[in-house]
Amino acid sequence: MTAGIERAACIGGGVIGGGWAARFALNGIDVAIYDPDPDAERKAGGMLDNAERAFARLFGDDRPAPGALRFAGSVAEAVDGAGFVQESVPERLDLKREVLAEIDAAAPAGILVASSTSGLLPSDMQRDLNRSGRLLVGHPFNPVYLLPLVELVAGRDTLPASVERAAEIYASLGMKPVVVRKEIDAFIGDRLQEALWREALWLVRDGVATVEEIDDVIRYSFGLRWAQMGVFQTYRLAGGEAGMRHFLEQFGPCLAWPWSKLTDVPELDDGLIDTIASQSDAQAAGRSIRELERLRDDNLIAIMEALERSGAAGWGAGAALKDARQRLRKRRG
């Protein structure tokens, strides 16, 4: 039992929904998944295998007994008896509205409903709901069973108490809730990622670098900085002893330089897709998606454990891990 939740419903069981199911189950919560994809059960099983492997490495004997995971035949069946509902269906507003209305009809009042959308506005998704005050966005990051961040976004109708309660529930799952102060498309994380991603696509399209070279530039330099301090604290240090104000005043004029092609959106045509897909195949060097996922998970665990040892309370994602470890240990007794 976590923050009062004994059973959760995951509507949609793909990369994101399956990741949520694994995070719930490995925190001792029973989960019912509904996904019309006939292959969903096999895919979610693969996700759970990865997640179990990661949790065993992170928490060893402190892990709670995993919750039961079952596949339901309908939205209503999945939602029945659930204390929390997480929706993770494809990113189409019409589909989200339809599925959320089904959830809204099936779930008793007082049961929170969170959408995993990475960009749609909660106000738009609330339109057809009877109990719209309990709907909010709870946007996670892949792999959901490992990365701590969840962005909480309220719509026009969302009750403040719904946001507070969702933050408690997510924190009890070892996550770091960040409440987005204004409702905007794509929230914070995906705006930032998309900005860099667009520029990366231009660099490949224009033959400035291959996908592997771009990844190397990131992971041998600023990726290491951002993993532990983000961008503002990093730039505070780039100003040297004069600090943030000096950095901003020095950097200000550069913003207007014609450095980037950000003003245009690159067309993701067949040629560019072919280039990226084949360079990505070369970069993977024969490793399967499953192998790469495990390598990624091992690296994420190693980085979070490294940051956990930074100072008494841990640092960044290491602080979240330290909290999660203490909570699991305490719960175990």
Footprint on residues 189-208 left by a copy of itself (CB under 8 A): 189-201, 203, 206-208
Q: Which sign does the torsion angle of CA 88, 38, 95, 80 carry? A: negative
Is residue 332 near a copy of itself by the rule CB under 8 A? no
- CB 109 → a copy of itself: shortest distance, Å? 31
Q: Which of 94, 109, 130, 181 binds a copy of itself (CB under 8 A)?
A: 181
- Which two structure tokens, joined as six digits, stand for 193? 């990622």
Interface segment toward a copy of itself; rule CB under 8 A; list 69-77, 123-131, 159-167, 243-251: 243-251
Is residue 209 near a copy of itself by the rule CB under 8 A? yes
Q: Which is nearer to a copy of itself, 59 or 247 (CB)?
A: 247
Is residue 240 near a copy of itself by the rule CB under 8 A? yes
Do residues 63 and 26 touch, judged by C-beta distance below 8 A? yes
**How many Å apart are CA 314 and CA 225, to the nearest integer?**
16
Is residue 76 near a copy of itself by the rule CB under 8 A? no
Q: Which of 219, 271, 282, 329 binds a copy of itself (CB under 8 A)?
A: 219
DSSP 180: -
User: Which residues between 267 and 306 bind a copy of itself (CB under 8 A)?
Assistant: 268, 273, 276-277, 279-281, 283-284, 289, 292-293, 295-296, 298-300, 302-306
- Which two structure tokens, joined as six digits, stand for 44? 């979610």
The CB density around residue 300, as the number of other CB atoms within 10 Å, is 17
**Side-chain half-sphere exposure of 60, counting CA atoms within 13 A:** 4
Q: Which is nearer to a copy of itself, 68 or 268 (CB)?
A: 268
User: Which residues between 143 and 172 bind a copy of itself (CB under 8 A)?
Assistant: 147-149, 151
Do residues 87 and 11 touch, judged by C-beta distance below 8 A? yes
The CB density around residue 258, as the number of other CB atoms within 10 Å, is 6
- Which two structure tokens, joined as six digits, stand for 53? 């492997």
**How many Å apart are CA 196 and CA 138, to the nearest integer?**
23
Interface segment toward a copy of itself; rule CB under 8 A; list 71-79, 101-109, 164-172, 220-228: 220-228
User: Which residues between 15 and 34 bind a copy of itself (CB under 8 A)?
Assistant: 15
